[in-house]
Structure 1
Amino acid sequence: MPREFFRSDRIADAIQRSLARVIQTEVRDPRLGLVNINSVDVTRDLSIAKVYVTVVGAKEESESEVAVKVLNKAAGFLRNVIAKELTMRSAPRLSFFYDRTAVQGQNLANLIDRAVAADKQRSEDEGE
């Protein structure tokens, strides 16, 4: 019977949960804000983990980019904490990236809402 999940997928999930807790409680940088970890991709050899994050409440994309830089500077500390917490022989190297999909999804949803409202208004105008 084939496996449902690869080991790298299970480790990615564990790293995501651990990072969410550790960033919130251990990293104390005022530039960071509230960070949401969207996903973690771990290579099959478990040497590199790409962490995709968004910053909740960031008004501009530059604020999110600053938070990503802060996280990349703290990557060594976070890697050490994760290695201890997950009791791994060697923890993957962490690289943080800003995830634009949430912002793009919100923009698309707004466009769809405006198109639906315009269509409804046009059908009401034609019906009168």
Structure 2
Amino acid sequence: MKTRLKRAIKALQEASGFIRSLLGKAMRLRIVPELTFFYDNSLVEGMRMSNLVTSVVKHDEERRVNPDDSKED
């Protein structure tokens, strides 16, 4: 996965000039800012945090339904 990601970022960086020219034409800009590409981990991290919250809520609901069966951790 990491090599695939690195190759994708490298390809985007190599094509940044072409992408800038397309953006400039599409947006009718004379000056187009420099583009930088990097992997954004926020979606993966957000999903991980959401799963943690879901797990805790599920555990809490189970404890509420069966208070005698739960153990304190």
Question: Aligned-pair distance for 1:79?
Answer: 0.7
Question: Aligned-pair distance for 1:127?
Answer: 5.9
Who is 1:120 aligned against?
A: 61
Alignment counterpart, residue 26 of structure 2, candidates 61, 69, 85: 85
Within 5 Å, give how 1:1-128 maps onto structure 2. 60=1, 62=2, 63-126=4-67
What amino acid is aligned across from residue 102 of structure 1 in structure 2?
L
Rg comparison, structure with higher value:
2
Aligned to 1:114, what secondary structure does the other structure show? helix
Within 1, Cα distance between the matches of 2:54 and 2:14?
Answer: 40
Aligned to 1:70, what secondary structure does the other structure show? helix
Within 1, Cα distance between the matches of 2:22 and 2:7?
Answer: 22
Q: Which runs of 5+ in 2 are unaligned?
A: none
Question: Aligned-pair distance for 1:117?
Answer: 0.8
Please give the root-mean-square deviation of Cα atoms over the aligned residues, in Å.
1.8
What amino acid is aligned across from residue 65 of structure 2 in structure 1?
E
Instruction: Count residues in correspondence.
Output: 68
Question: Aligned-pair distance for 1:67?
Answer: 2.0
Q: Give the TM-score taking structure 2 as reference length.
A: 0.76
* Bigger share in helix: 2
Q: Give the TM-score taking structure 1 as reference length.
A: 0.47
Aligned to 1:110, what secondary structure does the other structure show? helix
Question: Aligned-pair distance for 1:65?
Answer: 3.7
Aligned to 1:85, what secondary structure does the other structure show? helix
Question: Aligned-pair distance for 1:97?
Answer: 1.6
